Amino acid sequence: MQAFTGTQPTLETSANNIRDLLMRSVSHLRKDYGALLHSGGYSLFFYHYGKIFEDERSLDAAATIIENVLTGEMLYSEKKFSSLSYCAGISGSGWIATYLGREGLIDCDDALTPLDTLAEDFFSYTMQRSNNDFLHGASGALYYLLSRTESPEMEAVVRRMADALLQSACETEDALYWFHYDFDTAQTKPGSLNLGLAHGTPALMSILAKAQCVYPKLGLEDKIRKCAHTILRCRNKVESGSLFGYVQEMDSPKDALSRLGWCYGDLGVAISLWRAAEATGDLELRKEAISLMEHASHRRGLDASVKDAALCHGSAGISHIFFKYYGETGLESLKSASDYWMNITLELIRPTDNCITGRTCWRNEQGFLASFPLLEGITGVGLAILSRLSKEKLDWDNCMMM
């Protein structure tokens, strides 16, 4: 399977099937407020499906779902402080509500104002515990606030948060990075650099790059550039398979392989370097990002270690990243890779007797699971397909810093 064999009708049929499955299932899905894991992501899919296919029922579903999230957010946060996280909590759903507000689907500014303060509190709470993680910690709260309406007051908040993140970094004369946070021990590992866009230094650099782009007076360019070059120093010495591993010990660096995906490995590093290039105007960093993507575009089959279709670490996420940056660069190698992985995706999402969402989510202990969320389920796969079908560029993927 070397090229994309799916046609426009094939993609439309897949999008329709996902929409119908979600419509049948949404009343039974979890009602908590995680943007990437639960309710918020469903509203993104229904909104973009409704716009592309002019389907009012889907647009109504999108508005209803996100409005229900906003209605319950304060009660939910009071019960469980960690529910403010970006991935599984309402900071992420706040990002999606802001996005849908700007798209004109809902009016949510007033409803989100209390969440802005809660996000600041969550940032402080998790920073005190050395958890600066994007998906589950402090930097996710900052990323949410960067989506809100720009103002001098918000700029001051963002500056304080960016300063706090930089103060928590390990910085030497020629390096800047953050110690890997181990969720099993709830502690950082000194001297260890996490190379994942989901949880590591590339994510934190990307968020600071976003802050610099939104508020140019922050003056973070030198720090971002130093961090980017620190990440590049972690590149494997031998170029075979992936060029970056998962975690690098800075005092005793070793080559390591990583699978192809959004969360870890070459594509996530490439995206973070692209964001750093945007924030600094550094064309060499942009070239490094493109070179990484081109190298990754040649990884196929078993070499990529892909088992499922999820956005996080599966074929749909890979296809979407290549498709997005094909649009940015015009490189046919990226288009070819995107076609290849979309073809894989369309096969993986065929329903089975045991799994109505197909082979969308794999767990080593449990095998394939029925999975609906944006990050690891059929909703995210559907959004990747909708980006292919849309006549306009869709920006929903900014929720994952793609």
Q: Which two tokens stand for residue 103?
A: 């798209």
Element (H, E) at 248: strand 247-249
φ/ψ (deg, to 5) at 324: -65, -45
Distance CA 116, CA 158 (A): 11
Task: 256-261: list long-range contacts, CB under 8 Å, 24+ apart.
Answer: 258/195, 259/304, 259/305, 259/306, 259/313, 260/296, 260/299, 260/304, 260/305, 260/306, 260/318, 261/306, 261/312, 261/313, 261/314, 261/317, 261/318
Each residue's pLDDT expressed in tens, for the chain with a length of 402 residues:
334 556 677 999 999 999 999 999 988 877 666 778 777 889 999 999 999 999 999 999 999 988 888 887 556 666 677 788 999 888 998 999 999 999 999 998 888 998 999 999 999 999 999 999 999 999 999 999 999 999 999 999 999 999 999 999 999 999 999 999 999 898 999 999 999 999 999 999 999 999 999 999 999 999 999 999 999 999 999 887 899 999 999 999 999 999 999 999 999 999 999 999 999 999 999 999 999 999 999 999 878 899 999 999 999 999 999 999 999 999 999 999 999 999 999 999 999 988 999 999 999 888 899 999 999 999 999 999 999 999 999 999 999 999
Total-model pTM: 0.95
Q: What is the CA radius of gyration of the chain?
A: 20
Residue type, 3: A
Under 8 Å between Cβ of 375 and 41:
yes
